[in-house]
Structure 1
Amino acid sequence: MNVEADALRYDDVNQTSVFTGRVVVTKGSIVIRGAKVTVKQDPEGYHSGVVTSEPGKPAFFRQKRDGVDEFMEGEAETIEYDGRADRVKFIGRAEMRRLRGGSIADETSGAVITYNNATDQFSVDGAPGGATPANPGGRVRATLAPRGSAAAPAAPASAPATQLRPSTTMGGERR
């Protein structure tokens, strides 16, 4: 894990590091940016962390998905990352995007978004009774693109087109 920040406070007994001031964390394909990042390491070496945003500027998280040309990225006031569970939680004015080949495929927003990278599942919760500037209605918003792999394969160009015969009946009567 590589970290750039204006300051670091480290607690060896509790295995906790607190980075402040324009923090940028990189770990493998993960990139995290925020005003403050608190990182804790458990006895097995897994990292968990909490990222806090700067006033008026959201905290940011981005991770490449294994085996595919996709990235998951998101922004929120607070981001919680759990390396053991491979889960990230965006809290407060949360937005998350799936990028395929550099283009936005899916986009979601709400009060809280929880994404599990191991299972490729996510949940989005709205702000009951509370609207935010990013989401005036306080409801969940999502734009989900169809999966390219789920589409039926196109017929080969050399295959002859199937011709439809005109029907002389309206129902399913046999001829």
Structure 2
Amino acid sequence: MLHASSVAMAERGDRDKPINLEADKVTINDAKQVAVFEGNVVLRQGTLELRGDRMEVRQDKAGFKHGTAWGNLAYFRQKRDGVDEYIEGWAERLEYDGRAETMKMFNRARVKRGQDEVRGNFISYDGKSEFYQVVGGGAKAADAKGSGGRVRAVIQPKPKTKPAASPPLGLKPSEALTPPREKSETRQK
């Protein structure tokens, strides 16, 4: 997960799908192209799912979407492009920039892909370059588990591939064994 080459981009087809939002309350300012959703907010676009207590969605003049989600821990989940695997993330604040294809995660940030996981005070992911940056935050970012504000990562070993099965051996008669006697031969003796 820490290596740029090992992280695949999010599902490319998602950007062409409609955005569906649910919330307890919404305030829309068409003049400024800003919508604020509050209360159990859920955003879905293709395989992307974003959840938070509050979410602000903006559209720039070029039509790109930008969003910020806040929560006790805001959450995102998205399928990786080309593989049957999801990436998940949690933080107190998530910021998505549709133009730059970046996700920034602030405070108690955590990203999980399969069994691999990384934690820090700040995580930035660039979808174009497939690059992660994780910052610990020092002593002031220490959590209740006593991490001391340091970056934490768990990287699982790749599963070992089983060697290819060898082709089946053909059967042939053994020259070392005596052929069995016929029943008629044993009765005569």
TM norm structure 1: 0.77
User: What does residue range 1-175 of structure 1 map to in structure 2 within 5 Å?
Assistant: 1-53=19-71, 57-99=72-114, 105-130=115-140, 131-134=142-145, 136-147=147-158, 154-158=162-166
What is the match of residue 170 of structure 1? Answer: none
Task: Return 5+ residue gaps in structure 1 as ranges.
Answer: 100-104, 160-175
Whole-angstrom distance in 2 between the partners of 1:7 and 1:14: 18
Whole-angstrom distance in 2 between the partners of 1:135 and 1:113: 19
* CA deviations over 1:13-34 (Å, ceiling 9, x no partner): 1111100111011111110111
* CA deviations over 1:141-175 (Å, ceiling 9, x no partner): 00123456xx7x6542117xxxxxxxxxxxxxxxx
Contact kept, 8 Å, 2:138 with 2:148, in 1: the verdict is no
- Percent identity among equivalent residues? 41
Whole-angstrom distance in 1 between the partners of 2:162 and 2:129: 29
Whole-angstrom distance in 2 between the partners of 1:49 and 1:121: 20
Who wins on radius of gyration, i.e. which is larger? 2
Q: 1:71 to 1:91 in 2, by over 3 A?
A: same
TM norm structure 2: 0.72
More helix by share: 2
More strand by share: 1
What is the match of residue 167 of structure 1? Answer: none
Superposition CA RMSD, Å = 2.0
Shift of 1:44: 2.6
Question: Is 128-137 or 117-126 further displaced after alignment?
Answer: 128-137
Whole-angstrom distance in 1 between the partners of 2:47 and 2:89: 14
Contact kept, 8 Å, 1:93 with 1:134, in 2: the verdict is no
